[in-house]
Amino acid sequence: MSAMTTATTVPAEPAGLRVTTHGLVHIYRSEGHEVAALSGVDLEVGAGEMVGLLGPSGAGKSTLLSLLAGVFRPSAGKVFVGATELSAATPRELDALRARRVSLMLQGAGRNLLPYLTPMENVRFAQRTARRSGRGVELPEPVDVLAGVGLEREVDRPLAELSPGHLQLAALAVAMAARPGLLLADEPTSQLEHAARDLVLERMATLNRDLGTTVVLVTHDPDVASFLPRTITIRDGRVGGEGRSGEEFAVVTPDGFLPLPPHVREDLLPGTLVRFHLVDGQYLLLPETGGAEGVSDV
Amino acid sequence: MKRWRYRPFQAVAVVALAALMTACAAFAPLYYRAMQQTLTHSVLAGAPAITSSLQLTATRPSDFDPSRSVVPPEIVADQLDDTYRDSFLPPVLGYNGGATVLGVTPGVFGAVIWRSGQCDHVEIVKGSCPEAAGQVAVSVADAKNFGFEPGTTLDVSGIPGVDGQSGSVELEVVGTYRPSPDDDFWLGQTPTGRSGAPGPGLSGAVQHDWWLTPRETFEDPGLGVDTQQSTAAYGVDLDAVGVAEMLQFNDMTDALARVDLGEGMGDFAADTGLDALADNVQKQIDQSRVTVPLLLAQLFLLSVVVLWLVLMAITEQRRPEVALARLRGHSRRGARRLLLAELVPITLLAVLPGAVLAYAATWVVGGALLPDPLVVELRWPFVAAVVLAAVVLAGVTLLASRRVANEPVERLLRRVPPRRARWALGTGEAVLVAGAGAITVVFAVGGLDGPVALAAPGLIGVVVGVVLAHLTTPTAAATGRRMLARGRVRGGTSMLDAARSPATRRIIAIVTIASALVVFSADALVIGQRNRASAAKQEAGAPMVAELAGTDLASVRTALEEVDPTGKRATPVLRIQPPGDGASGTLAVVPEAFTDIALFPGGAPDASVWSRLAAPDVEPIVLTGDALSVDLTDSTLRSVRADGTPTPVTVGFDLVHASGQTLHMELGELPVGARSATLGRTVSCTAGCILTGIWFKTFPAAGMKGRVTFSHLVAEPSGAAVPLGPADQWAPYSATASGSMEPSSTTPDDLTIELRNGGVAEITLNHAWVPTLVPALASGALPPGSSGNEFGMTGIDGEVQDAAAVGTLDAVPGSPPNTIVADLETLQRGRQVSSIGQLSVWFAEADQQLLDDTTEALADHGVAVVDARTVADVRRSYDESAAAWSLQLAALVGVLAVLIELLALVVSAASGWRGRTRDLAALRMSGVGRRSIRSMAVAAQMPAVLVGVVAGTVSGLLGARLAMPLVPLFATAPEVSTLDLDTAFGAVLVAVGVSLVVLGLGSVVIGRALAGRARLQRLRETM
């Protein structure tokens, strides 16, 4: 085994990739019916950001992640990863993108690892396409990649002997093996105990900070969300809100719509008439109640 | 290799399957070749030496110039091209000369010969083997018959001069010899056996055996021996002749036929039966060219299909890994490479063990099925088959990998592979079903034959298996839902599980195809054996048959009564086969014994049929003594010639001697105008004679008319009168053309005959004891000229005898088609066995002791057993043929098909065991007990196995019906067909039973193994 040293590689690509979507729509067929998983998502994630996608089950989080990875093609709208418009990319371009710049971590550590290989061999396998594309010299040694997630001592151990937390770290190492500009992670901590969860998140944050990799992860765990500097809530196939540093915001869409937070929607039933009032620099939302007026903060 | 260490069972199963497939491909050419070699050896070893040897002869030209001798035998031997020399033993060189002994009456003539090494192959009884020119050794028989003892000088004819006159040569007898027994040196030519035998023509000269003399006798010009031929005899070298050499013998004989020794060097001839033997071998090879592919190609295809389905299951299981590769930037091609890198080495790794397995299997199977010597050769067809297997393996692996690798990433990422919502046949399967179905339909309506048509069982299995596999899924699902609705949780869950699992479809398809092959193999094997057994029984006629020399039926019957007083173990049979193709022969038998002893492949006819053959129930008139006399009274019998001159009538008796000999005996003349007379004569009837007829003869073309009474028939010395009447014991005779005879009598002692001849010179009144119409059983069409059921058959005397067909036989045991069977005793009445008759004894059992006892008893009565053969001997001749050896492969195919079925089950379980055990673990989590889990795991595969076995059985039976008529069962079709292609249901049941037991046990073991691994931890497993 080579000496466990701190990664000394120099990122060849811009450290992180900017992610932008415009009016993203994704429709799929299920038992003969068309279902809109996403219906107009506008999103912007800056290069080097670490963002969490939140939302209830079926909201479209994983679908959005797959669209950002180029696994799905959108039914409408555009997806930009860096300068590449994924919706217009050829299969070869998508393969090249996934080989070098975009990495997708699937839910469940096992799905990200070849079960018969050790962590180091898995990392090496993940680097193979990048090496073939001429980026070999830029890539870190597998052992360094594993050291980067804290698996220096598990590089050659069979996967079956690793704990769930270490498995997830191994999956993270594999995902970061080619030093991608964008890491997309689907529920990376969903099957982990708290300690392991925190460890994985901490490692991801470290990689994000040290390497500048843009990280978009899907989670429905509030604790995970609270760990993230920015969260985007997907609700009913749209961006339903955004959290920054623990504070929740509603987001006005480019066409002027404003999704109401769930607790407001409980009060303002569909069909309710409302007025906006500007009072002391603040907007007041006033439902029409036939006399008495209720006030909601936006 | 890491990948396979992770899935060792899959690796082992794939290697086993791929090795089996390679072995199937490679075994065919190995066995095919080994079979050809065995066939060649068997044909050569079984042929008489005269047939399997090559005799080259240079004959002195007719315009022989005495100054030139016959070419030396070395030159004759050299006419055989070196190309063929290795197939033969070193030639035996020789000279043949004529040696007619001068000055003896009757004349004695024969051959004097020299053969290189002759002294080593005879036993010198007296004197020595000749070593100097002019010396000869004669046979023991010649010494005995002609007194040619050592020391005798023989004056024999020498070489003819230009005037055609022969000089004389003195030869000195220096020894007597006897050929060494069982010595192949003479290559079927016999130096002895001629001594004393009459020569051709009426000269009265007799032959002597070959005289042996040294080479110098022929090459000493001063001696002047009548040298006629120089020879070179090549015995075939059984160890050196393989099928390749054998099939060149035709070219060899063609080349030898073109040999010209040159002007005045004499004629050259090559005599051999090797070309005919080569034709026989070639014919049988052509036959096996159909059967071997029929069986092994189907097995190969089955293993390919199974491997394909198994690889599909394995690649399906690799979907997450392929998805991962795609996510890491691998293109479709890259993902395919990933799969191929894993699968191709493991499948190709199996090629070598497969080839070794084929080689070993050839030794084992060949050793079991083929007689010695077994020769297994690794030739180019074997290498080609191995390469073909490797290419097919790689191709199948490539196709299976492409299928998964080409899927879009989003489909690969789904945890549960997408399935069609409704029933549909895949494109590949539809093409397969349509192709196989079309070929089957075309074949079934008679539009196709040959090897493709012989694949009917496999093709039908494919169609039925694939379609049924698809139909079973929705059916099982609907049944499962119905069962669940009725509260039958375990059964319903199993059915739904089976419907959900792609393994169900695979198992049904594989088991159907394999079971079709198993059933067809068992059916074909038993049908082949049954038909060979039937043909052997038909040809042999009885468990054991001894052919006898001579026609002394009475002695034979006497001997048999001594050996077997019951007549149940041995019976005489007399065959009269008139010359001419298709002529109806007669088989004279003792019906009661013949029914019990003869082998009737289709079952013996009813006893009532045999009773119709009984002789007329009339007491014979037996005359015992050495002289006969009879009174003729009240005669109005007159005979007048055409010119009106009266002429006497000659009267005589037809008698049958106790020995069976018939006597046409003249009693005397009834003088012209005499009204009475007493006629008599001496006879040799002290052992008893039977009076079978009274005849009257007159001058040719003379008329004869009137009546006369016979009475007071007396046989001396007893002097007692023998009654001739009553008249109904005699057969009246009436024919417009040949006259009439009407018997009448007033007392039992006398007989009055009123007669009129119709221009014939002799007219006979037969006693009713002699049948006028022999009752007979006919096989095939009645002979030409038959009228109704009456026809003319060949009697035991070789003459035509009136007969009536009282029944028919499908085939007569041991006899050619168109054979008439009649009662021996009936045929004997009034007739004597002809010299063309062939006597034999048929035995109820192949008991060597019985044969020995019979041979001894017959010898005591002067009858020799010429040949004896058992039904097993005949059966062996059928069994030792390429047709039989090819068909016996069905046993191997059946066993391997069952093995492949089982392997498919194992691989199917091994490729999906993780998911399957997780499902079972989930059931455990929901509260289902261990025992129920085990039952469900076992039951999950059983419906598919049962459906497959039933469907395969039907397909196999249907396929057998279509294919069996095209399968060669015999090297040469028997003269009398006993073909029976009915389904061998017993064998089919056994085959199906074995399949069910093996697959059932396999399902139980697999199910229990899966249930044992269904631990709750599986639910947490993410690997």
Q: Tens of pLDDT along B936-960?
A: 788 777 878 888 999 999 999 988 8
User: What pLDDT sits at residue B880?
Assistant: 85
Number of domains in chain A: 2
Please give, rounded to a whole number of angstroms, the shortest distance from the CA of B395 to a CA of chain A: 26
A281 and A143, same structural domain? Answer: no
Q: Do A191 and B1022 touch (CB under 8 A)?
A: yes
Asked if the Cβ–Cβ distance from B329 to A178 is below 8 Å, we say yes
Both structure tokens of A298: 């936006």
Q: Assess if residue A230 is contained within a domain.
A: yes
Residues of A with Cβ-Cβ distance to B422 under 8 angstroms = none
Decide if pLDDT at B234 tops 90.
yes
Sign of the Cα pseudo-torsion (A69, A71, A76, A82, in order)? positive
Establish if A208 belongs to a structural domain: yes
| Residue pair B820/B584 in contact by the 8 Å Cβ criterion | yes
As a whole number of angstroms, the distance between CA A211 and CA A206 comes to 8
- The number of folded domains in chain B is 4
- Is the pLDDT at B61 greater than 60, yes or no? yes
Across B140-151, average pLDDT: 89
Q: According to the model, what pLDDT value does residue A298 have?
A: 42
Q: Do B800 and B728 lie in a common domain? A: no
d(CA B504, CA B472): 8
Between the alpha carbon of residue B271 and those of residues A109, B252, B277, the distances in Å are 86, 11, 13
CB B27 within 8 A of CB B198: no
* Chain A residue whose CA is closest to B5: A116
Tokens of residue B999, six digits: 């697959």
Nearest residue on chain A to B409, alpha-carbon basis: A71
Are B596 and B713 in the same domain? Answer: no
Residue B659 reports pLDDT greater than 80:
no
* 3-state secondary structure at position B638: strand
| Among chain B residues, CA nearest to A96 | B329
**Residue ranges of E strands in B698-811:** 703-716, 721-722, 733-735, 739-744, 751-756, 762-766, 774-779, 790-794, 800-809
Query: Shortest CB distance from A111 goes to which of B320, B329, B421?
Result: B320
Chain mean position to CA A20: 12
Q: Is B466 domain-assigned?
A: yes
Chain B residues with CB under 8 Å of A96 CB are 329
Distance CA B1012, CA B954 (A): 36
Which contiguous run of DSSP H or E holds residue B277? helix B274-317
Question: B410 vs A72: CB contact, 8 Å cut-off?
Answer: yes
Name the β-bridge partners of B545. Answer: B842, B869
Q: Beta partners for B126?
A: B176
How many whole angstroms separate alpha carbon B981 and alpha carbon B973? 14
Chain centroid to Cα B515, Å, comes to 31
Question: Nearest residue on chain A to B1021, judged by CA atoms?
Answer: A110
User: What band does B810 get if pLDDT is binned at 50, 70 and 90?
Assistant: confident
* Whole-number pLDDT of residue B424: 53
Cβ neighbours, 10 Å, residue B404: 25
Name the residue with tokens 């001419």: B580
**pLDDT at residue B262, rounded to an integer:** 80
Mutation for testing the A interface, residue in B327, B330, B410, B412 having most A CBs under 10 Å: B327
Q: Do A98 and A30 share a domain, yes or no?
A: yes
Nearest-angstrom CA–CA distance, B885 and B889: 7
What integer best gives the mean pLDDT of chain B? Answer: 85
Q: Which of A99, A110, A159 sits opposite B329 (nearest CB)?
A: A99
Do A153 and A264 lie in one domain? The reply is: no
User: Helix, strand or coil for residue B251?
Assistant: helix
- In terms of C-beta density within 10 A (0-12 exposed, 13-18 middle, 19 or more buried), how is residue B151 classed? exposed
- pLDDT tens digits for range B500-549: 777 778 888 888 988 998 999 899 999 999 999 999 999 999 999 999 88
The answer to whether residues B826 and B920 belong to one domain is no
Domain identity same for B746 and B793: no
Q: How confident is the model at residue B984 (pLDDT cuts 50, 70, 90)?
A: very high
Please indicate, yes or no, whether residues A101 and A29 belong to a single structural domain of this protein.
yes
Report d(CA A169, CA A179) in Å as an integer: 15
Sequence letter at residue B943: P
- Three-class DSSP category at A140: coil
In DSSP terms, B296 is beta-bridged to none
Residues of B in contact with A183 (CB under 8 A): none
**Domain co-membership, B707 together with B760:** yes
Same domain as A74, residue A32: yes
Interface touch B329/A104, C-beta < 8 Å: no
The verdict on a CB contact (< 8 Å) between B1022 and A98 is no
Residue A293 confidence (pLDDT): 47
Residue that wins the pLDDT comparison between B887 and A65:
A65
Taking contacts as CB-CB distances below 8 angstroms, the residues of chain A near B7 are: 116
Please indicate, yes or no, whether residues A48 and A146 belong to a single structural domain of this protein: yes
Q: Do B795 and B755 share a structural domain?
A: no
* Distance separating alpha carbons of residues B145 and B505, to the nearest angstrom: 87
Minimal Cα distance from B325: which residue of A? Answer: A126
Q: Which of A100, A121, A164 sits opposite B329 (nearest CB)?
A: A100
Q: How far is CA A68 from the centre of its chain?
A: 9
- pLDDT per residue over B82-137, tens digit each? 989 999 999 999 999 988 888 877 788 899 999 998 888 888 999 999 999 899 99
The whole-angstrom distance between B422's CA and the closest CA on chain A is 11
Alpha-carbon gap, residue A41 to A257, rounded angstroms: 12
Same structural domain for residues B608 and B631?
no
pLDDT of B588 > 90? The answer is yes
Query: Of B737, B766, B795, at which residue does a domain stop?
Result: B766
Under an 8 A CB cutoff, do A69 and B334 touch? no
List the single residue in A with minimal CA-CA distance to B342. Answer: A116
CATH of the domain at A45: 3.40.50.300
Instruction: Report whether B789 contacts B774 (CB < 8 A).
Output: no
Domain match, A291 and A150 both: no
Integer Cα distance of B899 and B394 in angstroms: 23
Question: What is the reported pLDDT for B836?
Answer: 80
Rounded CA separation B514/B27 (Å): 19
Indicate the pairing of strand B774-779 with strand B800-809. parallel
Count, residues in chain A: 298
- Inside any domain, residue A13: no
Are A135 and A178 spatial neighbours (Cβ–Cβ below 8 Å)?
A: yes
Assembly ipTM: 0.84
Domain that holds residue A270: 260-297
Domain containing B134 equals 53-272
Sequence-distant (6+) residues with CB within 8 A of B229 are B57, B58, B59, B60, B70, B95, B96
Residue A138 has pLDDT above 90, yes or no: no
Of A71, A96, A159, the CB nearest to B329: A96
pLDDT surpassing 80 at residue A295: no
Q: Which residues, 6+ apart, have CB-to-CB distance to B562 below 8 Å?
A: B857
Model pTM score: 0.74
Whose CA is closest to B54, among B103, B20, B90? B90
Same domain, B593 and B524: no
Contact between B329 and A72 using a beta-carbon 8 Å cutoff: no
The chain B residue lying nearest A92, using CA atoms, is B331
Nearest to B809 by CA among B1004, B576, B962, B610: B610
Sign for the pseudo-dihedral over CA of A84, A87, A92, A96: positive
Whether B721 is in a domain gets the answer yes
Name the more confident of B183 and A187. Answer: A187
Q: Say whether B1022 and A108 touch across the interface (CB within 8 A).
A: yes
Interface test with B, best of A27, A92, A116 (most B CBs within 10 A): A116
In the prediction, which pLDDT does A56 show? 84
Per-residue pLDDT averaged across B329-340, rounded?
88
Q: Using an 8 Å Cβ cutoff, are B876 and B884 in contact?
A: no
Q: Is residue B700 situated within a structural domain?
A: yes
Question: Mean of the per-residue pLDDT values for chain A?
Answer: 83
Whether residue B315 is contained in a domain is answered as no
What residues in chain A have their Cβ under 8 A from chain B's Cβ atoms?
Answer: 31, 66, 69, 71-72, 91-92, 95-100, 103-104, 106, 108-117, 121, 125-126, 128-130, 133, 159-160, 164, 167, 174, 178, 191
What is the C-alpha to C-alpha distance for residues B998 and A170, in angstroms, rounded to an integer? 45
Q: Helix %, strand %, coil % for chain A, to 5?
A: 35, 30, 40
**pLDDT at residue A3, as a whole number:** 33
pLDDT at site B203: 64
Does B195 share its domain with B256? yes
B903 min Cα distance to partner chain A (Å): 25
> B626, B654, B619: which is closest to B719 by C-alpha?
B626
Mean pLDDT (whole number) for B773-795: 85
- Both A271 and A234 in a single domain? no
Among B328, B329, B409, the residue with its CB nearest the CB of A71 is: B409
The C-alpha atoms of residue A175 and residue A188 are separated, in whole angstroms, by: 11
B839 and B820 assigned to the same domain: yes
- The structure tokens listed for B732 are 């009246």
Q: Which amino acid is at B73?
A: P
User: Which residue is closest to A131 within chain B, CA to CA?
Assistant: B329
| CB pairs < 8 Å spanning A and B | 72
Neighbours of B650 (CB within 10 A): 19
Nearest to B893 by CA among B613, B520, B618, B536: B520
Question: How far apart are alpha carbons A206 and A204 in whole angstroms?
Answer: 5
Closest by Cβ to A109, choosing from B321, B330, B1022: B1022
Are A265 and A156 found together in one domain?
A: no
How, if at all, do strands B819-823 and B585-589 pair?
A: parallel
Between B964 and B914, name the one with better pLDDT. B964
Q: For residues A31 and B349, give the distance between their C-alpha atoms in angstroms, rounded to a whole number.
A: 44
> Do both B754 and B630 map to the same domain?
yes
Classify strands A296-297 and A282-287 as parallel, antiparallel or unpaired. Answer: antiparallel
pLDDT of residue B964: 85
Q: How far is CA B868 from CA B553, B818, B861, in A?
A: 18, 24, 18
Q: What is residue B531's predicted lDDT score, i.e. its pLDDT? A: 92
**Mutate which of A29, A63, A64, A71 to disrupt the B interface (most B C-beta within 10 Å)?**
A71
Residue type, B271: D
Contact A191 B410 (CB under 8 A): no
B705 beta partners: B638, B756
For B421, which residue in chain A has the nearest alpha carbon? A31
Residue type, B283: K
Any domain includes A171: yes
Chain B residues near residue A129 by CB distance under 8 angstroms: 328-330, 334
Contact A106 B1022 (CB under 8 A): no
- Cβ–Cβ under 8 Å, residues B547 and B573: no
Predicted pLDDT at A60: 86
The pLDDT tens digits of the residues spanning B443-452 come to 665 555 555 6
| B145 against B294, higher pLDDT | B145
Among B323, B329, B413, whose Cβ lies nearest the Cβ of A130?
Answer: B329
Tell me whether residue A99 is in a domain. yes
Which residue is closest to A101 within chain B, CA to CA? Answer: B329
Tokens of B1005: 């073991």
B340 located within any domain: no
Strands B211-212 and B111-115: parallel
Selection from B926, B913, B906, B910 nearest residue B1001 by Cα: B906
Mutate: best of A66, A103, A114, partner B, most B CBs <10 A: A114
* Whether B881 and B1022 share a structural domain: yes
DSSP state letters, B550-592: S--HHHHHHHHHHH-TTSSSEEEEEEE--SSTTPPEEEEE-HH
Whether residue A110 sits in one domain with residue A215:
yes
Number of C-alpha atoms within 13 angstroms, CB side, residue B782? 18
| CB–CB contact A104 B421 (8 Å) | no
Q: Which chain A residue shows the shortest CA-CA distance from B327?
A: A98
Cα gap B700→A100, rounded to integer Å = 127
Domain boundary residue among B254, B272, B290?
B272
CA distance B891 to B887: 8
Residues of B in contact with A93 (CB under 8 A): none
Q: Is the pLDDT of residue A147 over 70?
A: yes
Q: Are both A228 and A267 inside the same structural domain? A: no
pLDDT at B141 over 50: yes
In order of A22, A25, A31, A75, the CA distances from A28 in angstroms are 19, 10, 10, 9
- Domain with B657 in it: what CATH number? 2.60.60
CB B813 within 8 A of CB B972: no
